[in-house]
Amino acid sequence: MSMDASLVDWSRAQFALTAIYHWLFVPLTLGLSFIIAFMESIYVKTGNEEWKRITKFWMTLFGINFAIGVATGIILEFEFGTNWSNYSWFVGDIFGAPLAVEGIMAFFLESTFIAVMFFGWNKVGKRFHLVSTWLVAIGASLSALWILVANAWMQYPTGMRFNPDTARNEMVNFWEVLFSPVAINKFLHTVSSGYVLAAVFVIGVSSWYLLRKRHEAVAKKSILVASVFGLIMSVFLVLTGDGSARLMAKHQPVKFAAMENLYEGQTNAPLVAIGILTSKGDEHKKEDFLMKLEIPDFLSYMAFLSANAYVPGIQDLIHGNEEHGIISVDEKIAKGKLAIGALKQYKQARKTNETMKADSAMKILDANFAYFGYGYLTNAHDAIPPIKETFYSFRGMVGLGLWFVLLFILMLWSVMKNKVEKRRWLLRLALLSIPLAYLASEMGWIVAELGRQPWIIQDLMPTSVAVSQISAGSVKLTFVLFAITFTLLLIADFKILTKYIKIGPKDGGAE
């Protein structure tokens, strides 16, 4: 199947644009909802009105952010159909289910109790209100669970079989889809990154108050809650990040090699902690290092928990490596073409009621189905994802993640020693860390999504085959429309958010 490259690129650009915008707001919703729930719990437990004031202040900021998160989210659900219709059919039997469950289980929970959270202060009892706030937080994370299960399945398809009669993948084990190690790890890593971002946001905003010598009591209490929450969640973030790398090395080795800019496989592979790349522009997308700082054996350990483990490089994965049992992409392309051809033969045989022919085609299809998507590639080098983007994004994400751990420790220590307002350098760093948290979060998705190119479903369907057959011009136009609209809304969100931060908590909250 030939596809217009421009259509594929614009469709990808539109999805990337809408997903990046959406993800600017989701992590804060995920984390801030829990931070608010903790604060309100303290209020209900102690009866101290100041905690209610703090809760209502952060709730106001939560509401501003939540609205734009919802606005940018609806388009994503439907874009699978509007822009990736072939994909929607090919995996709808599996991918659609988590989306439906998300709607029934999570969205209603979130949207119902958010009304109580905002409008129920004078209408329902304290405890009912608190339960509602907790249910909003749980609902938000449950929403994330289902869409991340669906995303994990695209990275590591499992719990399904291909049905040649319907020409699609069909679910055979729901629990395998839900509890695949990639899904569990992806969910925990992604939500904990949201919790960390929200903690950095609360600490950053509170630091701004302390720098301005305003609302000091509120700021210190907020820093205390956020730094404890952030520190605990950072531990999860690091552990699940470590798990992600290992799963990637196992299930998406090309992505892993690209992320590390590793061309030739080696045992005792070192990890490049810091590196600067220079492009050679060859067909392998090879990048040389202008400079690098390595940690010996660490990449082998990170990938396979053994310092002398062999980590395959891009060359091995593209051209094959007999010694390590790696077959080349050219061989995979041949197998993929066999699978696609067998599907055609099967369908033809079914039409003419030739059972023997159909059975024989089915055997070939079964034997080669693992490489089905490779049959659509024309060049082995198309299987290499963008190197620079994934290499730098990974290092940026990890480096900033480690900085946030240190920030939480320093803030917690300072606030417990009652010296936080005196450490102005730390307060300034905390304020500067807010945009860095957003940057780290987006870089995580760049690693995950750019790193798996050219696949929309790992090994089974390339992005180019998944696209809806519409004109590139239509997609360009909607891209521009969404770019303008989302940018305007982002500016509005930023201005309102900063305005309410400047106003700060009043007696009845921020309003």
Name residues contacting other proteins, limited to 46-75 (CB under 8 A): 56, 60, 63-64, 66-68, 70-72, 74-75
Please pick, from the candidates 116, 130, 137, 245, the single residue that binds other proteins as defined by CB under 8 A: 116
CB of 209 to other proteins, least distance (A): 18
CB of 481 to other proteins, least distance (A): 7
Which is closer to other proteins, CB of 435 or CB of 508? 508
Residue count of the chain, please give it: 511
Which is closer to other proteins, CB of 306 or CB of 498? 498
Which is closer to other proteins, CB of 280 or CB of 499? 499
User: What single DSSP character describes residue 134?
Assistant: H
Q: Does residue number 425 form part of the binding site for other proteins (CB under 8 A)?
A: no
Site for other proteins in 140-199 (CB under 8 A): 163, 166-168, 170-172, 174
User: What single DSSP character describes residue 120?
Assistant: -
Token digits of residue 233: 């969640």
Q: Does residue number 136 form part of the binding site for other proteins (CB under 8 A)?
A: no
Which is closer to other proteins, CB of 92 or CB of 243? 92
Report the distance separating Cα 342 and Cα 43, nearest Å.
Answer: 66
What does residue 455 show for φ and ψ, rounded to 5 degrees? -95, 140
Token digits of residue 176: 């395998």
How many residues belong to the site for other proteins (CB under 8 A)? 90
Residues 6+ apart with CB under 8 A from 134: 37, 41
Which is closer to other proteins, CB of 317 or CB of 377? 377
Contacts 24+ apart (CB under 8 A), 136-140: 136/33, 136/37, 136/109, 136/110, 137/33, 137/34, 137/36, 137/37, 138/109, 139/106, 139/107, 139/108, 139/109, 139/110, 139/111, 139/113, 140/29, 140/30, 140/33, 140/106, 140/110
CA–CA–CA angle 205, 211, 216 (5° rounding): 75
Q: Does residue number 100 form part of the binding site for other proteins (CB under 8 A)?
A: yes
Q: Does residue number 88 form part of the binding site for other proteins (CB under 8 A)?
A: yes
- 171 three-state secondary structure: strand
Report the distance separating Cα 225 and Cα 486, nearest Å.
Answer: 32
Report the distance separating Cα 205 and Cα 367, nearest Å.
Answer: 57
Q: Does residue number 89 form part of the binding site for other proteins (CB under 8 A)?
A: yes
Q: Does residue number 112 form part of the binding site for other proteins (CB under 8 A)?
A: yes
CB of 494 to other proteins, least distance (A): 9
Token digits of residue 436: 């860095």
Q: Does residue number 321 form part of the binding site for other proteins (CB under 8 A)?
A: no
Q: Does residue number 113 form part of the binding site for other proteins (CB under 8 A)?
A: yes
Number of H helices, E strands in the chain: 17, 8
Report the distance separating Cα 481 and Cα 371, nearest Å.
Answer: 38
Q: What does 429-468 look like in DSSP terms, one character per residue?
A: HHHHHHHHHHHHHHHHHHHHHHTTTTEEETTTEEHHHHS-
CB of 372 to other proteins, least distance (A): 12
What does residue 321 show for φ and ψ, rounded to 5 degrees? -150, 100
Site for other proteins in 462-501 (CB under 8 A): 468-471, 474, 478, 481-482, 485, 488-489, 491-493, 495-500
Please pick, from the candidates 235, 406, 480, 503, the single residue that binds other proteins as defined by CB under 8 A: 503
Q: Does residue number 115 form part of the binding site for other proteins (CB under 8 A)?
A: yes
Q: Does residue number 86 form part of the binding site for other proteins (CB under 8 A)?
A: yes
Of the candidates 96, 78, 95, 88, the one whose C-alpha atom is nearest the C-alpha of residue 167 is 88
Report the distance separating Cα 457 and Cα 468, nearest Å.
Answer: 16
CB of 348 to other proteins, least distance (A): 9
**Sequence letter at residue 202:** V
Please pick, from the candidates 6, 46, 48, 104, the single residue that binds other proteins as defined by CB under 8 A: 104
Binding mask 343-362 for other proteins (x = CB under 8 A): x---x---------------
CB of 103 to other proteins, least distance (A): 3
Residues 6+ apart with CB under 8 A from 351: none
Q: Does residue number 124 form part of the binding site for other proteins (CB under 8 A)?
A: yes
Please pick, from the candidates 38, 42, 102, 194, the single residue that binds other proteins as defined by CB under 8 A: 102
CB of 453 to other proteins, least distance (A): 21
Q: Does residue number 103 form part of the binding site for other proteins (CB under 8 A)?
A: yes
Taking each helix axis from N to C terminus, what angle separates 387-416 and 253-260, rounded to the nearest 10 degrees? 70
Which is closer to other proteins, CB of 53 or CB of 255? 53
Which is closer to other proteins, CB of 162 or CB of 301? 162
CB of 492 to other proteins, least distance (A): 6
Which of these ranges, 37-45, 82-90, 316-324, 450-458, lies near other proteins under the rule CB under 8 A?
82-90
Please pick, from the candidates 3, 16, 105, 439, the single residue that binds other proteins as defined by CB under 8 A: 105
Which is closer to other proteins, CB of 89 or CB of 403? 89
CB of 412 to other proteins, least distance (A): 31
CB of 349 to other proteins, least distance (A): 13
Of the candidates 184, 110, 101, 124, the one whose C-alpha atom is nearest the C-alpha of residue 149 is 184
Q: Does residue number 97 form part of the binding site for other proteins (CB under 8 A)?
A: yes
CB of 25 to other proteins, least distance (A): 11
